[in-house]
Amino acid sequence: MKFLFDLFPILLFFVAYKFAGIYVATAVAIAASVVQVLWFWWRHRRVEMMHMVTLVLIVVLGGATLWLHDEMFIKWKPTIVYWLFGIMFLASHYVGNKPLTARMMGTALTLPEHIWKRLNMGWALFFVALGAVNLYVVYHFDTNTWVNFKLFGLMGLMLLFIIVQAIYLSRHLKDQQPEKENP
């Protein structure tokens, strides 16, 4: 359910684009992001960093898109979000005592420190690569192709990366099941 909630602004952007074009879709995405953050705060009395970063960028870049009537601003938003996340994963190697992946998943998984660092570096490089791929599509294809890629391509790449990561992690997980005692 959280996955769909996180995709709420993107899905509405996609639908609005198909019916009314990039500028209406941008306005819808801004409104949807505001609603998403407000609803999450109302339900949990906190705001997730990913939602807040996305909200700020959609308001600033989406606002510039609408104000200047230039779709390039909204097309750059995914790249900036991904690169910021990539920087956060990289910086976590040097700030604090654990990489960001260990802070996020450390309560659910027990892994050696070097595996956490590899995993963290993998996420950092993945986000940097996603940002670059988005820019490639922005500058080499039309807006319709970019909108389809934004929803299906970027989501597909994310899903593929998560599957590869799960396979990698499965090799390094210790048996977490408690052994049964023989009666």
Could you please report the per-residue DSSP string of 127-153? HHHHHHHHHHHHHHS-HHHHHHIIIII
Instruction: Find the mean pLDDT for residues 175-183.
Output: 51
Q: Using one digit for the tens of pLDDT, what is the confidence trace for 15-66?
A: 999 999 999 999 999 999 999 999 999 999 998 888 898 899 999 999 999 9
User: Is 63 within 8 Å of 78 (Cβ atoms)?
Assistant: no
82 and 152 belong to one structural domain: yes
Please tell me the distance from the alpha carbon of residue 140 to that of residue 150, in angstroms, as a whole number: 14
Q: How far apart, in Å, are the Cα atoms of 173 and each of 68, 86, 112, 131?
A: 51, 25, 9, 30
- On whether residue 45 sits in a domain, the answer given is yes
Domain end among 36, 68, 100: 68
Q: Tell me, yes or no, whether 104 and 17 share the same domain.
A: no
pLDDT at 68 over 90: yes
Structural domain ending residue among the three candidates 48, 68, 88: 68
Domains: count for the chain: 2
Reported as a single tens digit per residue, the pLDDT across 75-90 is: 999 999 999 999 999 9
Dihedral sign from CA coordinates of 123, 56, 24, 143: negative
pLDDT tens digit string along 91-143?
998 888 888 888 888 777 778 888 889 999 999 999 999 999 999 999 999 99
Residue 180: pLDDT over 60: no
**pLDDT tens-digit profile of 132-176?**
999 999 999 999 999 999 999 999 999 999 999 989 888 877 654
Residue 183 maps to a domain: no
pLDDT at 12 over 90: yes
- For residue 50, is it within any domain? yes
pLDDT at 78: 95
**Residue 84 and residue 149 in one domain:** yes
**Is the model's pLDDT at 73 over the cut of 90?**
yes
Q: What is the pLDDT of residue 3?
A: 60
Alpha-carbon distance 92 to 113, whole Å? 13
Cα(115)–Cα(12) distance, integer angstroms: 37
Write out the two tokens for 2: 């959280």
Query: Residue 8's pLDDT is what?
Result: 85
What's the pTM?
Answer: 0.85
Angstrom distance (rounded) from CA 176 to CA 149? 39
Q: How far apart are CA 82 and CA 171, in angstroms?
A: 27
Helix (H) or strand (E) run with residue 7 in it: helix 2-20
**pLDDT classification of 2: cutoffs 50, 70, 90:** low
